[in-house]
Amino acid sequence: MKRANSGLVYSTDGGRMCPECRRPVASCTCKAAAVPAGDGVVRVSRQTKGRGGKSVTLVKGLALDAAALASLGKHLRTACGCGGTVKDGVIEVQGDHCDLVMEVLEKHGHRAKRAGG
């Protein structure tokens, strides 16, 4: 006897699935439309909290989608010659490179502002 509600319980066929649209994350339609709203000012700051005394340059306030943010992050890391990552819409570049990051952002057409001490 077949039940009417016997849907798929678990599958690894598509990999990670989006909880909203139930599609694979790579082809998700609901996250592609969500672009974070920024105020037009990119804030560049230096932070050492929770990093064992090592400094990290943070770039916040970019109104870009995930792919463009990752691309800009890669360009900043190559310009500075160091490592880094993109987490939650914030680009992290290892080391104190605030001045160089601000120059590169100005060349890309973003209004950069130094934030913090």
- Report yes or no on 92 lying in a domain: yes
- Report yes or no on 17 lying in a domain: no
- Report yes or no on 4 lying in a domain: no
Tens of pLDDT along the chain (117 residues)? 566 665 556 666 667 777 777 777 777 777 545 555 566 788 999 998 888 888 999 999 888 888 888 999 999 999 999 999 998 888 999 999 999 999 999 998 888 889 886
- Report yes or no on 23 lying in a domain: no
Output the pTM of the full model.
0.67
Which amino acid appears at position 87 of this protein?
A: K
Structural domain that includes position 91? 35-114
CATH number of the domain enclosing 55: 3.30.780.10
- Report yes or no on 24 lying in a domain: no
- Tokens found for residue 86: 């993109």
Q: Is 93 exposed, middle or buried (0-12, 13-18, 19+ CB in 10 A)?
A: buried
How many domains are contained in the chain?
1
Distances (CA, A) of 68 to 32, 55, 109: 12, 25, 14
- Report yes or no on 13 lying in a domain: no
- Tokens found for residue 103: 């120059």
